[in-house]
Amino acid sequence: MKRLTLLLLLLLVGFGGIGQTMQTYQYAERDTLKLYLDLYTPETVHDSTICVVYVFGGGFIAGQRNGKWEKDYFKQLVNEGFMVAAIDYRLGLKGAKNLSIFNTEPLEIAINMATEDAILALAYLLENADSLKVNKDWIMMVGSSAGAITSLQTDYSLCNGYLNSDILPEDFRLAGVVSYAGAIFSKEGKVSYRNHAPAPTMMYHGMEDNLVSYKGISMFNVGFFGTDALVKRFEKFDYPYFARRFEGYGHSVALGGPVTVDDLLWFCRHFVYNKEKLQVDGTYQNLDPATMPPFDYYTPKDLYK
């Protein structure tokens, strides 16, 4: 865990450029804003090459598809044979204030906007799969923080027919979802996958996360359900999942992508390719909370003033 702490801190400083070529495509235009994706392709593409649709974090108020530490992560993934599509999305919480369980409408709108944009990106990849060399059967979504929320919410929408999911082929399914400090927003009580089972899902979360709640928070039928709540639902309905809980950590686990590539490879081998119905869960202790970055302890009041 000391290694995880050190690497998370290094990620805050930033890494060098990706050092590989990529292509940029405009995949949509929403509210006069042009949305782009950067497609990083390995030198050799096989029929089994997985395309990772990556959604950046930033609290729905900031962030970019081509940040420094994200590029390092993409380089790692491409070196392991993944294709990566890093996407833009609209940032719907810019200027938002006083978010709480009593004021969830701005959050709902922002999540819906980002999710609709992610679905449009998926539609673009599917429509141009041949020219882009994307295998339609091997598309995953990976996200950090707000991007993790968007990734989970996208799969939730596909499974329930929400938002603009009807623009995708009826038989399309994500091959997997990976969430670094994510949650699902619901106005219908506990999370329920009504039409289809969720994609195999890999979840990382700090147990002291007060920005994207690890356990979740709800009132009446409105709720924001984090990893702990989602695992309970996955266990109840026997959905495959891979969860890593970090005791003593807060929101910094959102930056865990680059230091968990070995886990991702294992997840893809067993959950995605072999379609094994596994439920893997583990809790890890933080050995030195004092070394964690300040934002590890942020709450919504720190971002939405």
pLDDT of 2 > 70? The answer is no
DSSP the chain: -HHHHHHHHHHHH------S--EEEEEEEETTEEEEEEEE--SS--TT--EEEEE--STTTS--TT-HHHHHHHHHHHHTT-EEEEE----TTTT----BTTB-HHHHHHHHHHHHHHHHHHHHHHHTHHHHT--TTSEEEEEETHHHHHHHHHHHHHHHT-TTGGGS-TT---SEEEEES--EEESSSS----SSPPPPEEEEEETT-TTTTSS-EEETTEEEE-HHHHHHHHHHTT--EEEEEEET--GGGGG-GGG-HHHHHHHIIIIIIS----EEEEEEE-S-GGGS-GGGG--HHHH--
pLDDT digits (tens, 9 = 90+) for 47-76: 999 999 999 999 999 999 999 889 999 999
Strand partners, 28: 35
- Measured CA to CA, the distance from residue 296 to residue 107 in angstroms comes to 21
Q: Which pair of structure tokens corresponds to residue 143? A: 């996200």
pLDDT of 4 > 50? The answer is no
pLDDT of 78 > 70? The answer is yes
pLDDT bin (cut points 50, 70, 90) of residue 288 is low
pLDDT digits (tens, 9 = 90+) for 117-155: 999 999 999 999 999 999 999 999 999 999 999 999 999
- Helix crossing, 105-127 with 146-160: angle to 10°? 70
| Sheet containing 184-186, strands listed edge to edge, beginning at the edge strand earlier in sequence | 184-186, 222-225, 217-219
pLDDT bin (cut points 50, 70, 90) of residue 90 is very high
For β-strands 279-285 and 217-219, DSSP reports them as: unpaired
Sketch out the chain's domains with CATH numbers: 2-303 (3.40.50.1820)
